[in-house]
Amino acid sequence: MDSDHYVVLGLPSGEEGARLSDKEIAKAYRVKALELHPDKRPNDPNANIFFQKLKASYEILRDRKTRKEYDYRLRARRDRTEEIAEIRAKHKRKQEEELASRNAKRRAAAATPPPMPPPGWREENEDGPWKSLERFQAYEDLVLGNMRRAAERQRMAQRGTNGNGN
């Protein structure tokens, strides 16, 4: 179902089109047929195609059983389209709410001050982490120096000397 047969005949579609009488449909077909007939449009290469579409639409709407089935399908398609539009709108609202929530959380996080240090905590120096790093490196040098001296004493003991060259 790629086109609305009521629209092809120049009639209103949907519930209004479903209430049209057979006479109204036949009259609309005759008016459109005079307008779209290939003899009336000799310079239009698509005139025959448009006229065939018009005839097919009229055939569908002329037969009561086929028209009833077509109206049912048209109504179902319209309902699905409305349902899809509702789902999309609902999804869009949900996305917008989530985005607004995330933005509010970000603004709140940016507005809150940094946490206070625990009670009893004091900074030992004003240079911050760099001074601590220097102290750690001095401690590391001390420990490594002690380890080197201990290793050297151990090597000397294995050689049998006590460090005075004898």
pLDDT band (50, 70, 90) for residue 108:
confident
Rounded to an integer, the average pLDDT of 56-65 is 94
CATH architecture assigned to 5-83: Orthogonal Bundle (1.10)
pLDDT (tens digit per residue) in 67-89: 999 999 999 999 999 999 999 99
- Annotate the chain with three-state secondary structure: CCCCHHHHCCCCCHHHHHCCCHHHHHHHHHHHHHHHCCCCCCCCCCHHHHHHHHHHHHHHHHCHHHHHHHHHHHHHHHHHHHHHHHHHHHHHHHHHHHHHHHHHHHHHHHHCCCCCCCCCCCCCCCCCHHHHHHHHHHHHHHHHHHHHHHHHHHHHHHHCCCCCCC
- In this prediction, residue 28 carries a pLDDT of 95
Domain boundary assignment for the chain: 5-83, 125-166
What pLDDT score does 165 carry? 52
pLDDT band at 132 (very low <50, low <70, confident <90, very high): low
